[in-house]
Structure 1
Amino acid sequence: MYFGKEFRKIRQNRAYSQSEVASSIISQSAYSKFETGIRDIDASIYLQLLNRLNISAEEFDYVRNGYSYGRKQNLIHKLFSINYNHMELLRSLKQQAVNFLEEQYDQDIKKVYLICEAFIQIHDTKDIEKAQNIVDPIWRDMSKYEQWYLNDIRIINTILFLFPVDIAIKFTETILIRLDTYKDFRDAPRLKIAFKINLSLLLIKNKDYVIALKIIENSLQYAKKRMDYSLLALHFSREAICKANIQGEGSSEPLKKARQLLTFYEDYDYWERIQQEFNHYTS
């Protein structure tokens, strides 16, 4: 597939000449032929040219598709942004995955389908074991990988709570180390925060309240500015759960912070879910 036309639009918008973009990467004449669709370029040159234009491959693909994700990327993006308690959206995404797979098999879209089906089964049957069996092929495939990349890590984060607690804790510790290699790469720091807060709940379920509290306090200390309001409120509520179980007191202040934050943003449904979680783990 030739992308020269899109490169030309971006180059002209940036007021670059062909020679400025091509300099030290590819000859100007070869670049000109690329823009006009006469020749293609290899992947390494493609990435260098994008870097010269100061645009990522992901953004370029988004712009090239008319400022929207391609069909596959759109389904994957929906999976990571969807509210898993919203059954109508989950069923719709599942059907879209089915439609895609009927036209062509794709391993990533198969994962989208299985994850949707697992969450739907949990909602309809409350059968965690059945949901675990549904996503088991995902884990069996991913356990063979020598390294996990960001999309793999996002998928694991989505279904982490379906693993046995001891295994989930072990995997999370490995993933947190892996995420250190990404440092400030895009949303990797936020993903690390999400794993830490998920790890805190696993530890709470395992009654390891002291360790969970340390993880929460560490995450709050170093990542408070990176959190959105809902994630920050969740940190406060988990802090309250730990303190209530460790000390029997001291939980009112962090829980009050969570309530004030969610009230300010008028997210009353989320505040109700946080209260339910607090009551469940402190009763």
Structure 2
Amino acid sequence: MNNYGKTLKKIRVGKGFSQKYVSNNICTQGNFSKFELGENKDIKHSTLSEFLVRIETSYEEFRYIDNGYIMPLRDEIITNFYNQTYNNSENLLQLQRSCISFLKEFPDDNLINKIFIIIKSLTILANTNDFHSAKLLAEPIWTELSRRDDLYLSDIFLLNSILYIFPIETAVEMKKFAFRHIEKYKNFQNINRIKINFLINLSLLYLKNHDYHMALKQLENSIELCKIEKLFINLSICYIRKGICLNNLGHCGLYWQTKGMNMLEVLDEIELLSILETEIDKCSN
């Protein structure tokens, strides 16, 4: 918290709040003044949280401002990793470099170490399609998480990121396990996004196993959530795969494939469009 006092003062003054207002019924104005001057570094996190409520600033925004309006590297790694729509080799390489840079300074950060392992696993898969080697790297993470009585958001994100690496039976078990714990977060921000990613990843596994009925079931559930969250890239993927499923079930899926491809063109997602066109060709043979 070495710089937190200065950052708090910057925001407080910028918003026109007095020290008296911000510190009222939290601490003495004298102690608050010392905190702003960097003379009192023993402020509890709960006290800082109360200050932030007074200055109408979230902890995430506060840390962003404190870091010079730059997202801290750890947060950047986690955000970029969680927000991947598909495995782009260049993005994976950049994430790998960021992890290496961060772990040089903080080698014992468990979450970033797990993300680093998963990125290496996904890179192997993206470059060589070697599921066996990718699974060997990721399996200890699944083993550890499967023994937990409770999962939290970071655990659920990790599970989703390795789902695709495992056989369909294991992937289904992972999804059921994760969704039991996701239920606790049903009113939490953006929780539908993680559900969508699970369903989309599982649909691809079902497609690869030629189980088009189950793939379609995952996609229909995902489509409804994508519409609610207005996640148009994910929705495009679902439409294209829905078309693939319908074609293989003896129905005409061209409408859905075309709709999804047109959306990706509008969104300028050319690389993803190319990947899905290849997917269409493979599933048509």
**TM-score clears 0.5:** yes
Confirm or deny that 1:173 pairs with 2:166: no
Amino acid at match of 2:278: Q
Confirm or deny that 1:237 pairs with 2:201: no
1:71 is aligned to 73
Give SS of 1:13's match.
helix
How far does residue 260 in structure 1 lie from its aligned partner after superposition?
1.8
How far does residue 162 in structure 1 lie from its aligned partner after superposition?
0.8
Q: Note closer, same or farther for the CA distance 1:183–1:85 as it changes in structure 2 (3 Å cut).
A: closer
1:252 is aligned to 254
Give SS of 1:54's match.
coil
Quick one: distance in 2 between partners of 1:69 and 1:80? 15
How far does residue 30 in structure 1 lie from its aligned partner after superposition?
3.0
> Which piece of structure 1 moves more, 76-85 or 54-63?
76-85
Which of residues 114, 118, 138 is equivalent to 2:117?
A: 114
Quick one: distance in 2 between partners of 1:91 and 1:263? 25
Quick one: distance in 2 between partners of 1:89 and 1:221? 28
The gaps in structure 1 that reach 5 residues or longer are none
- Asked if 2 retains the 8 angstrom alpha-carbon contact of 1:169 and 1:202, the reply is no
- Asked if 2 retains the 8 angstrom alpha-carbon contact of 1:6 and 1:64, the reply is yes
Confirm or deny that 1:36 pairs with 2:22: no
Which of residues 107, 130, 133 is equivalent to 1:130?
A: 133
Quick one: distance in 2 between partners of 1:231 and 1:27? 51
Structure 1 outlier segments of 4+, above 6 Å: none
Alignment of 1:1-283 (within 5 A): 1-2=1-2, 3-39=4-40, 40-81=42-83, 85-105=87-107, 106-246=109-249, 248-283=250-285
- Asked if 2 retains the 8 angstrom alpha-carbon contact of 1:84 and 1:90, the reply is no
Quick one: distance in 2 between partners of 1:54 and 1:145? 37
Amino acid at match of 1:69: M
Q: Note closer, same or farther for the CA distance 1:255–1:117 as it changes in structure 2 (3 Å cut).
A: same
- Aligned residue pairs total 282
Quick one: distance in 1 between partners of 2:86 and 2:238? 20
Amino acid at match of 1:147: D
Q: Deviations over 1:241-280 (max 9, x none)?
A: 222233x123111112112212223333322211222232
Amino acid at match of 1:138: I
The gaps in structure 2 that reach 5 residues or longer are none
How far does residue 128 in structure 1 lie from its aligned partner after superposition?
0.9
Amino acid at match of 2:111: D
How far does residue 141 in structure 1 lie from its aligned partner after superposition?
3.2
Quick one: distance in 2 between partners of 1:207 and 1:82? 25
> Which piece of structure 1 moves more, 229-238 or 172-181?
172-181
Q: Note closer, same or farther for the CA distance 1:237–1:92 as it changes in structure 2 (3 Å cut).
A: closer
How far does residue 61 in structure 1 lie from its aligned partner after superposition?
1.2
- Asked if 1 retains the 8 angstrom alpha-carbon contact of 2:196 and 2:225, the reply is no
Amino acid at match of 1:216: L
Q: Deviations over 1:119-158 (max 9, x none)?
A: 2322443321011111223223333433222222222222
Quick one: distance in 1 between partners of 2:150 and 2:160? 15
TM-score by length of 2: 0.86
Quick one: distance in 2 between partners of 1:14 and 1:205? 56
Q: Note closer, same or farther for the CA distance 1:149–1:51 as it changes in structure 2 (3 Å cut).
A: farther
Q: Deviations over 1:162-207 (max 9, x none)?
A: 1221121122123234333323533322222222222322333344
Amino acid at match of 1:265: L
Give SS of 2:169's match.
helix
Q: Note closer, same or farther for the CA distance 1:51–1:200 as it changes in structure 2 (3 Å cut).
A: farther
- Asked if 2 retains the 8 angstrom alpha-carbon contact of 1:84 and 1:119, the reply is no
Quick one: distance in 2 between partners of 1:32 and 1:55? 19
- Asked if 1 retains the 8 angstrom alpha-carbon contact of 2:248 and 2:284, the reply is yes
